[in-house]
A and B are shown apart, each in its own frame.
Chain A
Amino acid sequence: DIQMTQSPSSLSASAGDRVTITCRASQNIYNYLNWYQQKPGIAPKLLIYRTSTLQSGVPSRFSGSGSGTYFTLTISSLQPEDFATYYCQQSYTTPLTFGGGTKVDIK
């Protein structure tokens, strides 16, 4: 199975900060990497697919990059509604696997 490792597991930031979350795959997944946002008690929401393509309706302050085994999610200027948990997920092969999540909370 492909292991997905996110870092950090949590971070505290202020509105307006630039935030970067890292996701590493245990083997090459090319660009088959998705990012999801989840708020407490609510279903996950797709943010970015194929490493860097924004899902419709997602603000442009979100961006993704990477390839192979190293990927990043960047929020250029954190907004109050962005405080949530973020998960990466590889879609290269089954079993589909998620990272452990990165919780972004208010400093």
Chain B
Amino acid sequence: DVQLVESGGDRVQPGGSLKLSCAASGFTFRTFAMNWVRQAPGGGLEWVSSLSGGGGTTYYADSVKGRFTISRDNSQNTLYLQMNSLRVEDTAVYYCARVESRDLLPGTRSDYWGQGTLVTVSS
């Protein structure tokens, strides 16, 4: 069975850093692109970042560009999100989600999601 398990969420002060991890199992990790999607408390879904299966192509939402870095270790079947210069508005549950293809083409979809990890940015 496909499993995605996020970790690394915590409470951090504004301006701080945090690194999220997403451990994948049950599929050939390197052959799938991956997404990070977040959800603020009581809010809707917001796409954060995408990474191709080989790691060569990345995309970011404008709200996190220059502050967040998506990466992956295909030997460890793990996706990461390095978050720097955190802001109060980054407070959210962060989900990793598998994209159903290796490449980030139009028409892709997130077919499996992790349970999410909570990031709270507060002084």
In the complex, how many residues of chain A place their beta carbon closer than 8 angstroms to a beta carbon of chain B? Answer: 28
Interface residue? B44 (CB, 8 A): yes
Interface of A, secondary structure class, is loop
Against B, the Cβ 8 Å flags (1 = close, 0 = not) of A52-96 are 000100000000000000000000000000000001010111111
How many A-B pairs fall under 8 Å by CB? 63
Q: Are B109 and A87 in contact (CB under 8 A)?
A: no
27 CB contacts below 8 A, A to B, read A1-B62, A30-B106, A32-B107, A36-B110, A42-B115, A43-B113, A43-B114, A43-B115, A43-B116, A44-B95, A44-B110, A44-B113, A45-B113, A46-B110, A50-B107, A55-B111, A91-B108, A91-B109, A93-B106, A94-B50, A94-B59, A94-B104, A95-B47, A95-B62, A97-B47, A98-B46, A100-B44
